[in-house]
Amino acid sequence: MKDPSLLHARIFAAVRKIPSGRVATYGQIARLAGLGNHARLVGYALHTLPGGSRVPWHRVLNVRGKISLQGAGARRQLSLLRREGVRPAANGTIDLSLYQWRPSSTRALPRHNKGLP
């Protein structure tokens, strides 16, 4: 089994690349981190971030453009996205055709990348 801290570091490095005012899906981050279709691993990794982390976790959504968190966590994420200019529809969904980050390169990040939360 791979070292989870190294996998998490690759995920955090990919999330840090999402520009302000843009969002990415869990699956998109998994692919950019070289983890194929392991979108759930992205969610697990982001859940481990300590409070005050500089990793912009709030820019990661599910494939439908919805926030996966519930309650206060969802309200916080939506507030952070709004602060960056992301405007959700009335039902809270983020229009991925407008806000999804489309990096110029979709190649996976180098495996030696060891970004810290």
All residues at 6 or more sequence positions from 87 whose CB lies less than 8 Å from its CB, including other chains: none
The vertex-69 CA angle with 66 and 90, nearest 5°, equals 40
pLDDT at res. 62:
97
For residue 117, is it within any domain?
Answer: no
For residue 13, is it within any domain?
Answer: yes
pLDDT at res. 112:
46
For residue 115, is it within any domain?
Answer: no
For residue 67, is it within any domain?
Answer: yes
For residue 23, is it within any domain?
Answer: yes
Nearest to 95 by CA among 23, 1, 42: 23
The series of mean pLDDT values per 10 residues for the chain, 117 residues long, is 79 97 98 94 95 95 96 95 97 96 72 44
CATH number of the domain residue 72 falls in: 1.10.10.10
